Amino acid sequence: GAVVSQHPSWVICKSGTSVKIECRSLDFQATTMFWYRQFPKQSLMLMATSNEGSKATYEQGVEKDKFLINHASLTLSTLTVTSAHPEDSSFYICSASPTGSGGYTFGSGTRLTVV
């Protein structure tokens, strides 16, 4: 079945530093990938839609200069949290849908803790 690999699983960083999270589709091509954020005891919130070869589409309230998205190939999208602050601590999840499947495959998520 379709697999999405997300890396790293967890990361702890200092305030002011940047963190990159990778999302890879292992056995299918994904022209579109989605990035979600989930705060404790809350539901997933869509942050942005990553489009291969073009700019990402950000949801309202998500700072595009802070959350940099790069979808450089059909199997890789990256989310970089720049100048991280403690309030950026959250669970970040990516997903992609193999063409024609009608379903979505999610990565295992990245737990970001900013200290």
Partner 1 sequence: SQQGEEDPQALSIQEGENATMNCSYKTSINNLQWYRQNSGRGLVHLILIRSNEREKHSGRLRVTLDTSKKSSSLLITASRAADTASYFCAPYGGSQGNLIFGKGTKLSVKP
Binding site for partner 1 (CB under 8 A): 6, 32, 34, 36, 42-44, 46, 49, 91, 93, 95, 97, 99, 102-109, 111
Report the residue number, 83 or 99, with the smaller CB distance to partner 1. Answer: 99
CB 85, min distance to partner 1, A: 21
CB 90, min distance to partner 1, A: 11
Tokens of 68: 């940099």
Report the residue number, 16 or 104, with the smaller CB distance to partner 1. Answer: 104
CB 49, min distance to partner 1, A: 6
CB 29, min distance to partner 1, A: 13
Report the residue number, 77 or 97, with the smaller CB distance to partner 1. Answer: 97
Structural contact between residues 71 and 77, judged by C-beta atoms closer than 8 angstroms: yes
Report the residue number, 46 or 68, with the smaller CB distance to partner 1. Answer: 46
- Which 3-state string (H, E, C) describes the chain? CCCEEEECCEEEECCCCCEEEEEEECCCCCCEEEEEEECCCCCCEEEEEEECCCCCEECCCCCCCCEEEEEEECCEEEEEECCCCHHHCEEEEEEECCCCCCCCEECCCEEEEEC
